[in-house]
Amino acid sequence: MEILGIDIGGSGIKGAPVDTQTGQLTKERYRIATPKPATPKKVVGVVQEIVEHFEWKDAIGCAFPARIKKGIARTAANVDKSWLGTNVESLIEERTNCPAVVINDADAAGVAEMAFGAGKNRKDIVMLLTFGTGIGSALFVNETLVPNTEFGHIELHGSSAEHYAADSARKKDDLKWGEWAQRVQEYLDVIEFLFAPDLIIIGGGVSKPNKREKYLHDLYTNADLMTAELQNEAGIIGAAYRARQLLVASD
């Protein structure tokens, strides 16, 4: 089943059709810069452009940087605050005339890794943590997503952990990779104490091969520790795969 996956980010909105059996993009990814301000009208306008670019008439899966409950945005991280309380699914469906499923962006990356990447065939407790501007999280128990977790906001040193251990903190505080790894280790120690995952997958830009070699050897966990495999395509693939799961289940 082929579904159009779209990943809405703070700097870019990208999409491509996905073969949800294999997790492969069937056409080259198409990207448009995120409008400023990233209001619902402007962002959905870009989604429509991507749909028209691929001449798409079928189901859409969309990764969105917010907590999504029943299609409605309950937070607004890297998009305009006017998204709060907006039914993102309905907006996309009305604008594109396509059935749509919207999922939190970290959850989308996790879904992709569970289906086609580092978490494939794992039936225990798996946690994906994306290190970027903040720390995103996705939790799976026996291959089932526990949606909309916000483990980047666990308190560490009197503030949200992401202010201390995200990749943006490494850049802001001009840390060497080893120094940043010490902060990440503190965060992972808390995660393991609270949740005892069997596998931790490190995602985000720091999972790229040229970066992970700079810090991964400094981390120790009781859980298996891996880096994400799907890189920049994870949001697109995961959103499309989640749409397949939910739309097929509702038929």
Residue 239 covered by a domain:
no
The reply to whether 85 and 126 lie within a common domain is no
Sign of CA dihedral 250, 28, 49, 114: positive
Chain segment 140-195, per-residue pLDDT in tens: 999 999 999 999 999 999 999 999 999 999 999 999 999 999 999 999 999 999 99
Given a cut of 80, is residue 200 above it in pLDDT? Answer: yes
Sign of CA dihedral 245, 12, 133, 185: positive
Report, as an integer, the average pLDDT of 217-223: 98
Domain boundary among 44, 77, 103: 103
The reply to whether 91 and 140 lie within a common domain is no
Domain boundary among 44, 72, 103: 103
pTM of the model as a whole: 0.94
Assigned token pair, 218: 């400094």
Structure confidence at residue 56 (pLDDT): 97
CATH number at residue 185: 3.30.420.40
Given a cut of 90, is residue 10 above it in pLDDT? Answer: no
C-alpha span between 238 and 140 (Å, rounded): 14
Total tally of structural domains belonging to the chain: 2
Return the closest-CA partner of residue 179 out of 218, 144, 227, 134.
218
Structure confidence at residue 62 (pLDDT): 98
C-alpha span between 55 and 132 (Å, rounded): 32
The reply to whether 134 and 86 lie within a common domain is no
Structure confidence at residue 77 (pLDDT): 67
Residue 109 covered by a domain:
no
The reply to whether 87 and 167 lie within a common domain is no
Structure confidence at residue 165 (pLDDT): 98
Chain segment 94-136, per-residue pLDDT in tens: 999 999 999 999 999 999 999 999 999 999 999 999 999 899 9
Given a cut of 70, is residue 93 above it in pLDDT? Answer: yes
Residue 243 covered by a domain:
no
Report, as an integer, the average pLDDT of 20-43: 96
C-alpha span between 77 and 66 (Å, rounded): 6
The reply to whether 86 and 19 lie within a common domain is yes
Given a cut of 80, is residue 250 above it in pLDDT? Answer: no
C-alpha span between 166 and 109 (Å, rounded): 17
Residue 221 covered by a domain:
yes
